[in-house]
A and B are shown apart, each in its own frame.
Chain A
Amino acid sequence: QKEVEQDPGPLSVPEGAIVSLNCTYSNSAFQYFMWYRQYSRKGPELLMYTYSSGNKEDGRFTAQVDKSSKYISLFIRDSQPSDSATYLCATHGSSNTGKLIFGQGTTLQVKP
């Protein structure tokens, strides 16, 4: 079993839809969780960084962590064609070295 599992998609939605992206993780000791967005031929760009269970909101983006079920989500409201990208979930794991454990990434396409 992979430490972080993420459905690779692809996911295609119409413009304006609410998008839900999800990951599960295996180790309850994992504490810090991130969402990165990666456009084609670019590096991963940090979107959200969360520690505790609950929600964190930034504009149209909401990150949610449920530690009881080891489940993390990213919601995108009013999705735009410019949101078309690959979204990667990641965690620092249980190490203090800062090494990241990534999900495979979900490819999202928002159609005008």
Chain B
Amino acid sequence: NAGVTQTPKFQVLKTGQSMTLQCAQDMNHNSMYWYRQDPGMGLRLIYYSASEGTTDKGEVPNGYNVSRLNKREFSLRLESAAPSQTSVYFCASRDRQKNQPQHFGDGTRLSIL
């Protein structure tokens, strides 16, 4: 049972390049979330998907798009990467109907030069 799997684990981009971060969960959870973690800022919510077919903005959505591909997968896309998007990105999932807490993946470390 892998839980929440994120790919890639590391990536270096140049300013202006595009990139899709992948996330998949095998716990049959209906809700999925994308966060970024920066020193001194803690974890901040970028986008979330409360259930398959829905997505909503979080605290810091600018510069990102998301796709809830199916119940298992939730991807985060940077269309034109900027140095300010250098961060560690975490995906999480949750069984909303059982009001359970979120479970996190191990993150994607993204550097934009």
- Chain A residues lying within 8 Å of B103, measured Cβ to Cβ, are 46
From residue 77 to 111 of chain A, which have CB atoms closer than 8 A to chain B?
Answer: 88, 97-100, 102-105
Asked if A21 lies at the interface with its beta carbon under 8 angstroms from chain B, I say: no
Asked if B53 lies at the interface with its beta carbon under 8 angstroms from chain A, I say: no
Asked if B90 lies at the interface with its beta carbon under 8 angstroms from chain A, I say: yes
Asked if B61 lies at the interface with its beta carbon under 8 angstroms from chain A, I say: no
Q: Could you count the A-B residue pairs with CB atoms below 8 Å apart for me: how many are there?
A: 53
Output the least CB separation between A92 and chain B (Å): 8
Output the least CB separation between B65 and chain A (Å): 18
- B side interface size, CB within 8 A: 25
User: Interface SS of chain A: helix, strand, loop or mixed?
Assistant: loop
Output the least CB separation between A77 and chain B (Å): 23
Tell me whether B104 and A88 are in contact (CB under 8 A).
no
Tell me whether B101 and A97 are in contact (CB under 8 A).
no
A105 to B40, CA, bound (A): 9
Asked if B99 lies at the interface with its beta carbon under 8 angstroms from chain A, I say: yes
Tell me whether B104 and A104 are in contact (CB under 8 A).
no
Tell me whether B42 and A103 are in contact (CB under 8 A).
yes
Question: CB-nearest residue of chain B relative to A39?
Answer: B106
Asked if A32 lies at the interface with its beta carbon under 8 angstroms from chain B, I say: yes
Select B106's contact among A36, A42, A97, A98, beta carbons within 8 Å: A42
- Chain B residues lying within 8 Å of A34, measured Cβ to Cβ, are 101
Output the least CB separation between B36 and chain A (Å): 12
A47 to B49, CA, bound (A): 24
New A-B pairs, 11, CB < 8 Å, besides A98-B50, A102-B42, A102-B43: A41-B109, A42-B106, A42-B107, A43-B105, A45-B104, A49-B101, A97-B56, A98-B31, A98-B94, A98-B96, A99-B58
17 contacts between A and B (CB under 8 A): A41-B106, A41-B107, A41-B109, A43-B104, A45-B104, A46-B103, A49-B100, A88-B43, A97-B31, A97-B48, A97-B50, A98-B96, A99-B45, A99-B48, A100-B92, A104-B42, A105-B42
